[in-house]
Structure 1
Amino acid sequence: MGLEKGLPSRQEQRAYRPTARAFLIVFSFLCSYFVVNHLVLNHLHRGAPKHHVCHESPRPPIRRYQGEKIEWVACGNVEDHELECSNITVPMDHFNASNNAPDNKSFTIPLLRLRSTNATAKTNILINPGGPGGSGTQLVYRRGSQLSAIVGDTFHLVGFDPRGINQSRPLAACYPTEEARRAMSTVRNKKIAEDSGELWAWTTNLVRGCADTMSLHGAYINTPQTAADMNSILDALGQDDMYYWGFSYGTILGQTYATLFPDRAKRVIIDGVGNQFDWYEERFDREMMMDTDAVLKGFVEECIKAGKEDCPLADMAETKEDLFVDLVGKINRLQYDPIGVYVNSSMHGVLDFWTVWYNGVFPSLYKPATWRDLARNLDLLLRGNATEAFLAYGLERAWEDTSDEALEFVANNDGVSGPNNWGFDRFDLVHELVGFFNKSLFDEELFEFYFSKAAWAIPRTHKYKPKRGVKTAHPLLLLSTTYDPVCPLVSALGANNAFEGSRLVEVKGYGHCSLAVPSMCIARHVRDFLLEGKLPENNVQCEADGKPYFAKPEESLALLEAQELNNEERRIRLAQLDLARDSWLGPWR
Structure 2
Amino acid sequence: MTNNRLTRRAVSAVLVASLTAVAGGARHAAASDGPPPSAPTIEWTSCEGLGDQFQCARVPVPLDWDEPDGEQIELAVMKHLASKPDERIGTMFIDPGGPGQSGVGLVGDSGEELDAWGDGRFDLVGWDPRGTNDSSPVRCFTSAEEEAAFWDGVSIPSTPEESAAYQRKTVELAKRCGEVSGDLLSHITTADTARDLDRLRAGVGEERITYVGLSYGSLIGQTYLNLFPGRVRAIVMDGIVDAVDATTSMETNIGNTVSSADEVFRQFLDLCQNGAPGECALAGHDEPVQQRVARLFTQARLTPIPAPNADPPGELTYGDLQVATFNPLRVPPDWPQFAEDLDAAVEGDASALLTAARAMQTPAGFTAATTSAAISCGDAPARVPSSDWPTQIARFTEAGELWGPVNGWWLWAPCASGWPADATDRYTGPWNAQTENPVLLLSARYDPGTPYRNAVATEKRLANAVLVTLEGWGHPSYQIASACIDEVRTRYLVDLTVPARGTTCQPDEVPFS
TM-score category, normalised to shorter length = 0.7 to 0.9
Question: Secondary structure of 2:139's match?
Answer: coil
Amino acid at match of 1:234: R
Displacement after TM superposition at 1:494 (Å): 1.1
Within the alignment, does 1:401 sit opposite 2:369 as a pair? no
The one-letter code matched in structure 1 to 2:381 is V
Q: Which residue of 1 aligns with 2:422?
A: 459
Q: CA deviation at 1:465?
A: 1.8
Work out the CA distance in 1 between the residues paired with 2:106 and 2:487: 22
| 1:296 is the counterpart of 2:260 | no
2:252: which partner in 1?
Answer: 284
Aligned pair partner of 2:176 in 209, 213, 225: 209
1:74 to 46, 57, 60: 46
User: In the alignment, which of 96, 118, 122 is matched to residue 129 of structure 1?
Assistant: 96
Task: Give, in angstroms, the shift of residue 463 of structure 1.
Answer: 4.4
Contact 2:140–2:177 at 8 Å: present in 1 too?
Answer: yes
Match of 1:227 in 2: 194
Q: Indicate which of 381, 386, 389 corresponds to 1:416.
A: 381
Rounded Cα–Cα distance in structure 2 between residues aligned with 1:81 and 1:332: 54
Per-residue deviation, residues 496-548 of structure 1 (Å, max 9, x unmatched): 11211200011100111110111111111111111121112313111111x23
Tell me, in whole angstroms, the C-alpha distance in 1 between the residues paired with 2:245 and 2:437: 25
**Alpha carbons of structure 1 residues 411 and 468: separation in structure 2 relative to 1, 3 Å:** closer
The alpha-carbon deviation at position 398 of structure 1 amounts to 7.9
In 1, Cα distance between the equivalents of 2:220 and 2:415? 19
Distance 1:75 1:408 in 2: 30
Structure 1 counterpart of 2:487, one-letter code: R
Structure 2 vs 1, CA of residues 466 and 316 (structure 1 numbering), >3 Å: closer, same or farther?
A: farther
- Maintained 8 Å contact 2:272/2:280: yes
Secondary structure at 2:47 match in 1: strand
Inter-partner Cα distance in structure 2 for 1:396 and 1:278: 26
Aligned to 2:158: 191
Q: How many residues align?
A: 473
Q: Does the 8 Å contact 1:485/1:511 carry over to 2?
A: yes
CA contact (8 A) 1:507 1:514 kept: yes
Q: Deviations over 1:228-284 (max 9, x none)?
A: 000111111011111111111111111111111111122011100011111111332
Deviation at 1:292, TM superposition (A): 1.1
Superposition pairs for residues 59-208 of structure 1, below 5 Å?
Answer: 69-75=41-47, 82-97=53-68, 104-120=70-86, 121-169=88-136, 171-186=137-152, 187=154, 189-191=156-158, 193-208=160-175
CA distance in 2, matches of 1:399, 1:206: 13
Indicate if the aligned counterparts of 1:234 and 1:242 stay in contact, CA closer than 8 A.
yes
Matched, 1:478 2:446: no
Measured in 1, the distance between the counterparts of 2:424 and 2:238 equals 28
Q: Which residue of 1 aligns with 2:395?
A: 435
Displacement of 1:151 in angstroms is 2.2
Which amino acid in 2 is paired with 1:284? T
The Cα offsets for residues 119-173 of structure 1, whole Å up to 9 and x where unpaired, read as 222511111000111000111111222111232111111110000111112x111
Q: Paired residue for 1:355? A: 320
The secondary structure found in structure 2 opposite 1:462 is coil
Q: Say if 1:431 and 1:398 are closer, same or farther in 2 by CA, change over 3 A.
A: closer
Q: 1:242 touches 1:267 (CA, 8 Å); kept in 2?
A: yes
- How far off is 1:387 after superposition? 4.1
Mark the CA change 1:526 to 1:16 in structure 2 (over 3 Å): closer, same or farther: closer
Conserved 8 A contact 1:317-1:323? no
**Deviation of the 1:308 alpha carbon:** 4.0
Establish whether residue 384 from structure 1 lines up as the match of residue 348 from structure 2. yes
Aligned mate of 2:283, from 297, 314, 317: 314
Change over 3 Å in CA distance of 1:398–1:328 after alignment to 2 = farther
Deviation at 1:196, TM superposition (A): 3.3
Deviates more, 1:528-537 or 1:159-168: 528-537
Distance change (3 Å), C-alpha of 1:508 and 1:68: farther
Task: Give 2:132's aligned amino acid.
Answer: I
Provide, for residues 324-379 of structure 1, a one-character-per-residue CA deviation record: whole Å limited to 9, x for no partner. 233122233123332333449x63222333223312x2321100100011111222
Please list every run of 5 or more consecutive structure 2 residues that lacks an aligned counterpart in the other structure.
Answer: 11-38
Check conservation: 2:386, 2:416, Cα contact below 8 A.
no
Please name the residue that 1:549 is paired with.
511
| CA spacing shift, 1:16–1:526, aligned 2, 3 Å | closer
Amino acid at match of 1:406: T
Instruction: Kindly provide the amino acid, as one letter, of the partner of residue 116 in structure 1.
Output: A
Deviation at 1:209, TM superposition (A): 1.3
- Secondary structure of residue in 1 paired with 2:108: helix
Letter in 1 for 2:469: E
Of 175-184 and 85-94, deviating more is: 175-184
Structure 1 549/16 Cα, relative in aligned 2: closer, same or farther at 3 Å? closer
1:194 alignment partner, SS class? helix
Matched, 1:239 2:206: yes
Quick one: which amino acid aligns to residue 141 of structure 2?
Answer: Y
Kindly indicate whether residue 459 of structure 2 is the aligned counterpart of residue 488 of structure 1. Answer: no
One-letter amino acid of the structure 1 residue matched with residue 314 of structure 2? G
Q: Secondary structure at the match of 2:430?
A: coil
CA deviation profile, 1:421-440 (whole Å, cap 9, x unmatched):
43x472x4421331332232
Q: Identify if the C-alpha distance between structure 1 residues 226 and 192 changes in structure 2 by more than 3 Å, giving closer, same or farther.
A: farther
Task: Using structure 2 for the length normalisation, give the TM-score.
Answer: 0.85
Rate the CA distance shift 1:192–1:415 in 2: closer, same or farther, 3 A.
farther
Between the aligned partners of 2:361 and 2:284, the Cα distance in structure 1 is 29
Which residue in 1 is equivalent to 2:405?
A: 444
Structure 2 letter corresponding to 1:71? E
Secondary structure (helix, strand or coil) at the match of 1:184 reads: helix
Indicate if the aligned counterparts of 1:271 and 1:479 stay in contact, CA closer than 8 A. Answer: yes
**Tell me, what secondary structure is at the counterpart of 2:314?**
strand
Aligned equivalent of 1:375? 339
In structure 2, the CA distance between the partners of 1:109 and 1:462, relative to structure 1 (3 Å rule), is same
Larger Rg: 1
* Structure 2 letter corresponding to 1:152: D
Superposed counterparts of 1:19-38, under 5 Å: none
Indicate conservation of the 8 Å contact 2:443/2:476, yes or no: yes
Q: In the alignment, is residue 269 of structure 1 matched against residue 236 of structure 2? A: yes
Q: In structure 2, do the counterparts of structure 1 residues 379 and 488 end up closer, same or farther at CA, with 3 Å as the change threshold?
A: same
Change in CA separation of 1:287 and 1:201 when aligned onto 2, cut-off 3 Å: closer
TM-score, normalised via structure 1 length: 0.75
CA RMSD of aligned residues (A): 2.7
1:362 alignment partner, SS class: coil
2:412 maps to amino acid: Y
Cα distance in structure 1, aligned partners of 2:101 and 2:216:
9
**SS, match of residue 57 in structure 2:** strand
Which runs of structure 2 are paired with 1:572-587 in the superposition (5 Å)?
none
Cα distance in 1 for residues equivalent to 2:221 and 2:365: 24
1:370-400 Cα distance to aligned partner (Å, 9 max, x none): 0011111222222234444445555665896
Which amino acid letter does the alignment assign opposite residue 92 of structure 1?
Answer: L
What is the letter of the counterpart of residue 69 of structure 1? T
- The letter for the 2-side match of 1:226 is T
Distance in 2, Cα, partners of 1:287 & 1:218: 24
